[in-house]
Amino acid sequence: MRILIPGASGRLGRMLRAVWRDGADGGPEIVPVFREAGQGDGPVWAPGDPVSALPRVDAVLALWGVTRGDAQALAMNVALAAEAVRLGRALGAARVLHCSSAAVYGAGPRPWSETDPTAPAGGYGHAKLEMERRVLATRVPGQVFMRIGSVAGAESLFGNMRPGGTVRLDRFDDGTAPRRSYIAPQALARAIVALCDPTAPDGPVNVAVPVPTGMDALARAAGCEVKWQPAPSQALRLVALDTALLSTVCPLSEAEADPAHLVAQARATGCWP
């Protein structure tokens, strides 16, 4: 399987490239795409450049995107998704995997499934949901929206953690820390390969391990001291994903939510800390 990866120079791209390096463990052949020379070993290409500079592929894994900024900046996610659809059609890809997010759901007392109503709590979630809607409106087959949980090593908590350091976390009125659905880069890589198969589900697919992990447990597993602060009213206590659909093509175990496992897997990529 050959997978084109626009956005390969970002943190998540670097982690996945480390997992798939040299086709280890029978992994896919990847074609990382970079916007500037010197960012990595792969084609230099940007939206608007001739598609003829890129090879034929089986799938496009669109890792590019805007994660912060105002509404105008975040709206670029729609344009980038449209470009990924165009790439897929031009290069013969049967599947295009778009990076959506658990942020499209907001918080809730139970894990969210793909059929639940969406209620983003912030601009990023709204932008990702609009990206999904706009791509679905094209009616191009083979579009997958990976509603990814928190990726160990690539999200904000890991960005603030250094072994021996201190992490500040919200504490809710019951004494608990925020809990999130996490996934290690290695498990994410397996899920991506499974979702690239033409027989896998189209549309939204939650991508995470089956049970959530406490952020305080992760911080301690990373060797950090936790400093508490009262959780503000808008803080999200639980963002958890129902992964029954993913499990039909890529079963993941509850053991993969263990904090020590997530920390070790992030470290194994060489991209964290």
pLDDT at 121: 86
- Quick check: 207 pLDDT over 80? yes
DSSP 161-179: --TT-EEEEEE-TTSPPPE
Which residue, among 70, 30, 63, 73, has the nearest Cα to 193 in the 3D structure? 30
Structure tokens at 251: 């079963």
**Would the pLDDT of 24 be above 90?**
no
For the chain, the structural domain boundaries read 2-152+182-210+240-257
Range list of β-strands (E), 108-218 = 143-148, 150-151, 166-171, 179-180, 182-183, 203-207, 213-214
| Torsional class of 75: left (φ above 0), alpha (ψ -120 to 50), beta (otherwise) | alpha
The whole-chain average pLDDT of the chain stands at 95
pLDDT by residue (tens digit) across 160-184?
999 999 999 999 999 999 999 999 9
Q: What is the pTM of this model?
A: 0.96
Mean pLDDT, rounded, for 32-39: 93
The pLDDT confidence band at residue 84, using thresholds 50, 70 and 90, is: very high
**Residue 156 scores a pLDDT above 90:** yes
Q: Tokens 């290069």 correspond to what residue?
A: 91
pLDDT for residue 22:
52
CATH superfamily of 2-152+182-210+240-257: NAD(P)-binding Rossmann-like Domain (3.40.50.720)
pLDDT at 47 over 60: yes
